Amino acid sequence: MQHIPSQCPICSGEVTMGKTTFSLDLQTGVVIVRNVPALICEQCGEEWIEDSTAAHLEKITDKARSEKLQLEMVSMS
């Protein structure tokens, strides 16, 4: 279980639940996932993604890689 901070360990800013965009270049193609739930520091913008969300992103990435998709763009909301 990943530790999710309630306060930013970098700048001590406040961390709130928000949405971010995940993108990854696989060489064979690019994966873009919008509306990814994440904890975001309001002060410095550092982001933390929960384990269950990270696992979901990995599935999307694996699918794009195995199907050699040039562009995979999905929304998690």
For residues 28 to 47, the per-residue mask of contacts with Zn ion, x marking binding by CB under 5 A and - elsewhere, is -------------x-xx-x-
Gap between the Cα atoms of 28 and 24, Å rounded? 11
Bridge partners, residue 36, by sequence: 20
For residues 45 to 64, the per-residue mask of contacts with Zn ion, x marking binding by CB under 5 A and - elsewhere, is -x------------------
How is residue 71 annotated by DSSP?
E
Task: Give 10 or 73: the residue with its C-beta nearer to Zn ion.
Answer: 10
Residue with tokens 């064979």: 28
CB of 44 to Zn ion, least distance (A): 3
